[in-house]
Amino acid sequence: MNTYSRLPVTFAKGEGVWLWDAQGKKYLDALAGIAVCGIGHCHPKLVKAISEQAGTLIHTSNLYHVDKQEKLAKKLAILSGLNKSFFCNSGAEANETAIKLARLYGHNRGIDQPTIIVMENSFHGRTMATLTATGNRKVQAGFEPLLTGFARVPFNDLDAIAQVSAHNKNVVAILVEPYQGEGGVNVPQANYLKGLRQICDENGWLLMLDEVQCGIGRSGKWFAFQNSEIAPDVITLAKSLGSGVPIGACIGGNVAGEIFKPGNHASTFGGNPLACSAAITTLDIIEEENLMRNALEQGNFIQKNLLEQLGNLSHVTQIRGHGLMIGIELTKPCGELVKKALEQGLLINVTSNKIVRLLPPLVIKQNESEQIINMVSTLIKEF
Ligand SMILES: *Cc1c(COP(=O)(O)O)cnc(C)c1O
């Protein structure tokens, strides 16, 4: 169906941060399949692991124990401090799971009309519940009636949440991206998550973090919340968890990990051996190759150099981000830059109309970061 306006290129193969099209032209991938290919394209260790898994066992269903799924859940529990995982196949499904979990949590406490606080400019997916949670009219328009049970507040505004809590006794959870991705690479004030944690503790709400884009090493830590010294109740993951093999996860700690009972939620494909072997191997590679440190170092390097090159231009509003999630906000819509970059062999993205977004693979090397800096700076200077 006609759901995408695609760029005029087809890629034939990939290696590390590089892609080649069918004519053999080479592209530097500063988008990584929208934050999916964190370990780069076709990492040999991943290719080997999923090839071997495909030759052994691909799928059995969740009617049975799945050893790779248990192994992945244990690993995620160690890394996140949240001890229970539900596996699905995408970010939207992971958030859908979190929304159901919060609603059931409310019902279990005698709240018949549970409300989840969500943010302006957020993005949580394209299913009915997640597009309702999303703070972007373009995503919702034409799909009404939307769901009830959501209250929206500005991102990075703790006072606004305090006001909702004073008036709405049905709130059961907050759902928020630690760093907003689609909404324009928005980084909140340093104490924001701590403030949210405190409000949730005072009110008995679940703090649910959508780490679908910012998680899995991109922020310099396994999870973005680990930059804030807080423990959430729930995190959702997808995108780079399986490096392109579809897998999503909703991970809950303590109370949140015990809400679902058999029959409350399910997924046919969720957590099958093939997807879980991709995720386990992805996490192993990030650990072995120290990619979180690299993400932070290269992210800082790119941001610092972009600031030097572009900081004084009158049509550049702000350069921001954390780790390898970088946004350059311009004063005017700049979608055309994507095609210009493509012609020059660079893959970038523009989100929220006027924000150039960079999400390079975590395996990027300094000389490759320099190429991104030079090409992006030239493009924006000439724009
Ligand atoms: C991409 C994204 C989603 C949706 O993920 P899908 O796999 O496309 O369903 C949800 N939340 C955030 C923060 C995202 O960036």
Q: Give me the pLDDT at residue 287, please.
A: 98
DSSP state of 144: P
Which residues does a 6 A CB cutoff place in the pocket of ligand 1?
A: 90-92, 95, 123-125, 177, 181-182, 210, 212-213, 238-239
Determine contact, residues 129/183, Cβ cutoff 8 Å: no
Q: Whose Cα sits closest to atom 15 in ligand 1?
A: 213
Q: What is the pLDDT of residue 206?
A: 98
The pLDDT score that the predictor gives to residue 152 is 98
- In the chain, the number of structural domains is 2
From residue 3, alpha-carbon distances to 22, 122, 128, 142, 264 in Å are: 23, 21, 16, 14, 32
What pLDDT, on a 0 to 100 scale, did the predictor assign at position 284?
A: 98
Structure confidence at residue 251 (pLDDT) = 98
Catalytic position from the list 68, 86, 87, 123: 123
Residues 126 and 62 in one domain: yes
Distance 313 CA to ligand 1 centre (A): 32
pLDDT of residue 356: 98
Q: Report pLDDT for 137.
A: 97
pLDDT at position 280 is 99
Give me the residues of the chain with pLDDT under 50, please: none
Q: Is 299 helix (H, G, I), strand (E, B) or coil?
A: helix
**Whole-structure pTM value:** 0.98
Is 123 a known active-site residue? Answer: yes
Range of the domain at 332: 11-30+290-382
Burial of 136 (0-12, 13-18, 19+ CB in 10 A): middle
Q: In Å, what is the CA distance from 359 to each residue of 35, 168, 202, 302, 356?
A: 6, 38, 36, 11, 10
pLDDT, residue 308, reads 98
Q: Per the domain annotation, does 36 fall within a domain?
A: no
Is 210 part of the annotated catalytic residue set? Answer: yes
Q: Does residue 2 belong to any structural domain of this protein?
A: no
225 & 339 share domain: no
Q: Which of 261, 288, 315 is the last residue of a domain?
A: 288
Would you state the pLDDT for residue 275? 98
Q: Are strands 248-252 and 115-119 parallel, antiparallel or unpaired?
A: unpaired
Same domain flag for 146 and 274: yes
Same domain, yes or no: 24 and 169: no
Cα separation of 383 and 376, whole Å? 11
CATH number of the CATH domain containing 343: 3.90.1150.10
